A = this chain, B = another copy of it.
Amino acid sequence: MTNPTANPTANPTTNPMTAPRTSRQARADALRNRRLLLGAAADVFAEYGTEASVTQIAQRAGIGKGTVFRHFPTKEDLLAAIVGELLDALVDTGVALSDADDPEAALLAFMTAGVELQVKDRAFCEVVGRPSLRHPDVQAGIERLCEVAETLTDRARRQGTVRQDITGRDIVLLVGGVHQTAAPAMDADPELWRRYLGLVFDGIRAVTAAPLAHPAPDHMRLG
């Protein structure tokens, strides 16, 4: 959906990654600036989080601030495009793990990849970890993430290596939670999240434990 090489016939008003106009070909300088913008935005959002200013992104890209708003009507649209790509990449990782030999190891690898992405990218973990950004692209990406997580979880459940009462949504939420658990102490130990991922995964593997008293979530946002 947010793949920059996607079908150019897609609706340009809902997909700013494709050609912005349907009639004429996009101009060469416009495409060049768009690439510069997306690269700079990815870097700056990753390093400074969602509160990075548009001015800062424009400077990093070497373009004017007005050009940013020409390509994306609001800052949130730009942010959603960046985070959407990251979500897509993580979904792809999950899909690739869906037919691995060891379902338990595959689920752990998926969670590891998720936490690593959050560690690397401040904006990603801020957007995924809070119900603030209601952008449809992001919502859809998270939904796809839950689906692939459910696939991975289901295989491990059938194998009997993880408890029966864990869902794909649990996994997605726990990936965010593991990162947040370690976050306050990550300056002192950048790999601390591995400790809590191990602990949480022991909880996920506790097949002999009593079922969790509280039911699983059925949807992740809105009320």
Contact = CB atoms under 8 A, between A and B. Distances in A.
A6 B187 CA distance: 34
A102 interface: no
Nearest to A197: B214
Interface of A: 128-131, 166, 169-170, 173-174, 176-178, 180-189, 191-192, 194-196, 198-206, 209, 212-223
A45 B197 CA distance: 31
Given A177-B177, A203-B200, A206-B206, A129 B184 contact: yes
Given A202-B203, A206-B202, A181 B191 contact: no
A185 B129 contact: no
28 contacts: A129-B183, A129-B184, A130-B184, A131-B183, A131-B186, A131-B187, A170-B195, A173-B181, A173-B182, A174-B181, A177-B182, A177-B196, A178-B181, A184-B220, A185-B220, A185-B221, A187-B221, A188-B223, A192-B214, A192-B217, A194-B213, A195-B212, A198-B214, A199-B203, A199-B204, A201-B203, A202-B203, A206-B206
Contacts of A184: 128-131, 173, 176, 220-221
Contacts of A209: 202, 205
Contacts of A202: 202-203, 206, 209
A139 to B, nearest CB: 11
A188 B214 contact: no
A207 to B, nearest CB: 10
Contacts of A195: 170, 212-217
B188 A129 contact: no
A198 B204 CA distance: 11
A219 B181 contact: no
B212 A199 contact: yes
B174 A130 contact: no
A174 B221 CA distance: 23
Most buried by B among A174, A203, A223: A203
A121 to B, nearest CB: 16
